[in-house]
Amino acid sequence: MRVLVVLCLATLLTALVPAAGAQSACSPEGCGLPASAIQAHRWPNVRPLPIDEEILNELEYRQIEGAFTLFSAPEGEAAQQFIEGYTFVSVQETSGDWVRIGENQWVQAEILSEPIRPSRFAGALLPRPEALPYTVAWTLTHLRGSKTPGGPEAGDNPFRYRYTRVYIYDTVEIDGYSWYQIGESQWVHQFKLAKLLPVARPAEVDTEKWISIDLYEQVAIAYEGELPVFATLISSGLNEWATNEGVFHIYARFSHTRMSGSYNEPDFYYLQDVPWTMYFDDQIGLHGAYWHDGFGYRRSHGCVNLTVTDAHWLFNWASSEYDYAQGDYIGPAVYVYSSGIYD
């Protein structure tokens, strides 16, 4: 089961992992695959998307903390007041101590943060299923595996950076939770991995290209027919704004769009130029999120957050599903489900 994480990720995960004294479920002969089997398939045979610096840095994004005022021009009249919220804008023009963030929309430069650096994580193109002998997963934290299931991290085990792609070679259950083998004498608690789990095509899916969204694993997979071709980490809705389950269709697409909601509420947000957005469930969409690097955990108001790189790839990949000449504006089906119960 995955834990809801917004802040203090490392502390929370540490607290949730069984104590170092937990008993191993291994037999006296040990458990897990031997080194010879692991060496034969050491790394997942997938191809990560290349990072396109031009796409990633297409716009200059800044954050505004606190309430702010929009002006019609530098030193001009106040046009609109905004309350404190989760606010990110894109810089269009600079004039002295003023910055234009939209048509006839200026703010004082001093209220803007330093430029935001979008996440450099990218999903992966998948080979045919037979080329992946074990389940593929991403690490969700920096970690060193434990020597045995249920044990403490071992200082002499290899260090794995967050977002590392790994194979799961074996699974052991301890106290109701899974421990996964990701290397020789390397075991990690299930909270530290997100698994890529392709699903059978639902009967309701009526498009050749379609996308599955696993809310439990926080993983999206793109399919062509029955074949999974791409997979990546996402961030879906928090409990208060859960992403709805079901089968939908992408019905509107925008290369960049503004998103805002909960005005005059504590969770007010105002996001300019959200990239590569594809709406599929009313105002819920798949889109790039330049403002965070917390992929693999729920954290949105219901939308499915992707990195800018991943959102751009999906946006282009989905294009061929439309037949504009025939007036067909219905895009790929989106199947939202949960492979487990969130803890």
Look up residue 336 and give its amino acid.
Answer: V
CB atoms within 10 A of CB 156: 7
Domain boundaries, the chain: 58-111
Per-residue pLDDT of the chain (343 residues; tens, 9 = 90+): 444 433 333 333 333 333 333 445 676 556 899 999 999 999 999 999 999 999 999 999 999 999 999 999 999 889 888 889 999 999 999 999 999 999 999 999 999 999 999 999 999 999 999 999 999 999 999 999 999 999 999 999 999 999 999 999 999 999 999 999 999 999 999 999 999 999 999 999 999 999 999 999 999 999 999 999 999 999 999 999 999 999 999 999 999 999 998 877 788 999 999 999 999 999 999 999 999 999 999 999 999 999 999 999 999 999 999 877 776 778 999 999 999 987 7
The CB-side HSE value for 6 (13 A sphere, CA atoms) comes to: 8
What is the per-residue pLDDT for 15? 36
Cα–chain center distance at 25: 32
DSSP codes of every residue in 142-158: -EE-BSSTT-PBPTTSP
What is the per-residue pLDDT for 17? 38
Tokens coding 202? 């639902």
Contact status, residue 93 vs residue 100, Cβ threshold 8 Å: yes
Q: What is the 3 state secondary structure string of 265-282?
A: CCCCEEEEEEEEEEEEEC
What is the per-residue pLDDT for 330? 86
Contact status, residue 252 vs residue 78, Cβ threshold 8 Å: no
What is the per-residue pLDDT for 23? 44
What lies within 8 Å, CB to CB, of 191 at 6+ separation is 1, 2, 3, 13, 16, 17, 140, 177
Contact status, residue 305 vs residue 292, Cβ threshold 8 Å: yes
Determine the Cα angle at 88 with ends 313 and 294, to 5°. Answer: 55
> How is residue 285 annotated by DSSP?
E
What is the per-residue pLDDT for 2? 46
